[in-house]
Structure 1
Amino acid sequence: MTPPPPLGRPRNKDGLTFDPALDDTELATVRDALARGRWADARKLLAETGDDWDRRGHRLTVLGEGSTSVAWAREWQLAEPDSPDAAALLACATVFRAVRGKGSPEAARACALTAARMAPADPSPWLAILVLARRTGTDDERVRAFDQVRARHRDHHHAHHLMAACLAEHQRDDRDDPLHEVYDFASWAAEQAPADSPLAVLPVVAHAERYRVLAQAGLEPRDPARSGHWATRRARQVMKAAFDWWLEWDVDEDAAATAHPRRKVDLNYLAHAKLHEGRMAEAAALLTRIGPHAVRAPWSYPDRDPAKAFHAARRAALGAA
């Protein structure tokens, strides 16, 4: 691709890119158009998304993260004040602005509640409130926001990941506890979800997020390869269950073709866990399926270059396969 790189796609020193839009090429195109003020493209994309709540949440959060998204969402809302899509985009953009410390959390929450009233069935404004509550809210506010999302779409992918991260951040100064609430939450959510749900990987997400918190607190090594975290019996059990789910799901071409892009996030978590466990052949299979979005994990550890570490491990995995 000739320079300059597309808007919103951060580039690291190795020339590798990680695009939060993942495999959603329509979203990437519309995100770049929105940054240039073409909000009509966002209107068309969100109208086409309909009530595919997982995809809608993914698209709104990616569109809302842009530095100019608040301004263009406001312009859209001025043109179409009754549009719930314009209100939802403005809510997400305002929340991300507040999370970056450039706006009032109270104003962002009010904006999201306005969007929620305009579309009572849509979990996306409540997803935005959960994003905000993770950074600026209380535990009760996070739980209430998650419950509101789940009441509208009980298997909401992004909301479950966010809640796992929130819970993992409790008890920052304690050693890893097999009875920690994040593990109970992830197991409960995976058991409640349908058999083909990517929430089967949530227990792995819980282990990764908890390790991230412990490493930041200095209670686990910065390099997970030096830790026994992934070699415990509990970790091996949840990884086996998640990997079995992936093997079954991956052979279903229809499911793979229609899955929304955030499934790549699940596979990234699972691939990293397999690498840290030393299961190189299984990790190589996952990395091959992830494709270009294996250049960076959706989570990383303190003081580590995720792209560099990931590619070094990928070369080792492919060499061992």
Structure 2
Amino acid sequence: MVRTMSLLRALLRTSRMIRHAPRLADGLPPDDAVLLDAPDDRVGPALVAAALGEYEPAAKLLATTRDAAEWENRDRYVMRLAYFAHSRGEWLSSWLTAAPRDPDALTVKAELAVRRAWDSPVRTERLREIGPLIDAAAEATPRDPVPWRIALDHARGIHARHSDFETLWEEALSRSPHHYGCHVAALRYLSAQWYGSHRECFDFAEQAAADALPGSLVQALPTRAVFARMEDTALTGAYPCGPLERERTDAAADRAVALSAAYPAGDPWPAEVRNLTAYVLVRQGRWEEALEQFRLIGPCATSFPWNRLSDDPLGQFLDTRGGVRIQVASMTPLRTRTTGGRRPAH
């Protein structure tokens, strides 16, 4: 009898998947339309020019963000350009030769140096050597929080004391109190994997989110704290925690879902937050909400957090998205009934 019931449940689950999976693909772009870390319309042309060895578009773009105090965009573009220069840096070398004191070139140079040092087997020694490059970038653009975000990443790698970290954090806050990149860098330092604890990480993230401006990505910072906690557990299976931690985890996900809903579907700006939110919702077993995040993500997959699970982040994103769709389909009743319990008329 038990075996028969198990077989019936399996058949019912399969029937649900067959019936509902195609419909649940509505709003999801096909796999070949999804792009990983696609550049936006502003930095894209600068990257194309850099591939041709031309630095002028990148210089103009970063100068514009600096003059207009577009610190969030500036941080993203600095990271994107430094990532490109990691493998193709001729254009950056030409830029620095032509304008060795250019504040934008110095900022990209500092970011690139930190990235390369992090990849080194002698990370700490390399990072200590490049401190003057970060200082030069900060001195060249005094109002800019981006060099201080770089300094916070640098501090984590050189095992900076809490007092030194707090000094850097105050410098970053004085330039941009709600800068998302600086908050993420600080959260990493305060995580249990580095120099803090789960409680310290959560407390910092929740306070920052409560103080954040409407629509600010900082509101999703507690979801980053949840992810840091999840990284301490197995990357698959249930997320074990007590009632209080479960409550904080649910509240973090709820806040991120609300933030995501404030932006248009397919918007590249909140894409990383949406990718992270989808992952956290999957780990919580909140399948329908996760599927909605994948719809909002549209074609904008991001490396983080999927690169923490696989060397193929795009493949991991697509596999997870497909698995969520199948899970939701298997949970959906075969037939929809009216309030009175009768089958709908055909």
- The CA distance in 1 between the partners of 2:258 and 2:152, in whole Å, is 30
Which of 242, 251, 257 lines up with 2:256 in the alignment? 242
Residue 57 of structure 2 corresponds to residue 41 of structure 1:
yes
Q: Which residue of 1 aligns with 2:188?
A: 165
Q: Which residue of 1 aligns with 2:15?
A: none
Alignment of 1:63-82 (within 5 A): 63-65=81-83, 66-68=85-87, 72-82=91-101
- The CA distance in 1 between the partners of 2:220 and 2:173, in whole Å, is 18
Q: Which residue of 2 aligns with 1:83?
A: 102
1:299 CA drift (Å): 5.1
Q: Which residue of 2 aligns with 1:187?
A: 206
Letter in 2 for 1:49: T
Q: Which residue of 2 aligns with 1:7?
A: none
- List gaps (5 residues or longer) in structure 2: 1-30, 330-346
- Aligned residue pairs, count: 289
Q: Deviations over 1:33-74 (max 9, x none)?
A: 324421112112212333200000110111112225665434
Letter in 2 for 1:86: A
Alignment of 1:139-218 (within 5 A): 139-140=161-162, 141-170=164-193, 180-212=199-231, 214=232
Residue 196 of structure 1: SS of its match in structure 2? coil
1:272 CA drift (Å): 0.9
1:186 CA drift (Å): 0.3
Distance 1:230 1:90, change over 3 A: farther
| 2:71/2:145 contact within 8 Å kept | yes
Residue 86 of structure 2: SS of its match in structure 1? coil
Residue 301 of structure 2: SS of its match in structure 1? helix
Distance 1:240 1:298, change over 3 A: same
1:135 CA drift (Å): 2.2
Residue 240 of structure 2 corresponds to residue 228 of structure 1:
yes
Which of 115, 127, 145 lines up with 1:105 in the alignment? 127
Q: Deviations over 1:219-266 (max 9, x none)?
A: x2331x23335982221122223323333x13xx6xx89x8x452111
- The CA distance in 1 between the partners of 2:169 and 2:33, in whole Å, is 34
1:76 CA drift (Å): 1.5
| 2:306/2:317 contact within 8 Å kept | no
Distance 1:208 1:235, change over 3 A: same
- List gaps (5 residues or longer) in structure 1: 1-13, 215-219
- The CA distance in 2 between the partners of 1:142 and 1:282, in whole Å, is 37
Residue 288 of structure 2 corresponds to residue 266 of structure 1:
no
Residue 166 of structure 1: SS of its match in structure 2? helix
1:138 CA drift (Å): 1.3
TM, length-normalised to structure 1: 0.77
1:171 CA drift (Å): 6.9
Residue 297 of structure 2 corresponds to residue 285 of structure 1:
no
Q: Which residue of 1 aligns with 2:305?
A: 298
1:91 CA drift (Å): 1.8
Letter in 1 for 2:255: A
TM, length-normalised to structure 2: 0.72
Query: Aligned-pair RMSD on alpha carbons?
Result: 3.2
Which of 56, 62, 71 lines up with 1:53 in the alignment? 71
1:94 CA drift (Å): 2.1
| 1:54/1:156 contact within 8 Å kept | yes
1:316 CA drift (Å): 3.6
| 1:287/1:314 contact within 8 Å kept | yes
Residue 298 of structure 2: SS of its match in structure 1? helix
- The CA distance in 2 between the partners of 1:307 and 1:275, in whole Å, is 17
Range with bigger deviation, 309-318 or 126-135? 309-318
Q: Which has the higher contact order (CA 8 A, sep 6+)?
A: 2
Larger radius of gyration between Structure 1 and Structure 2? 2
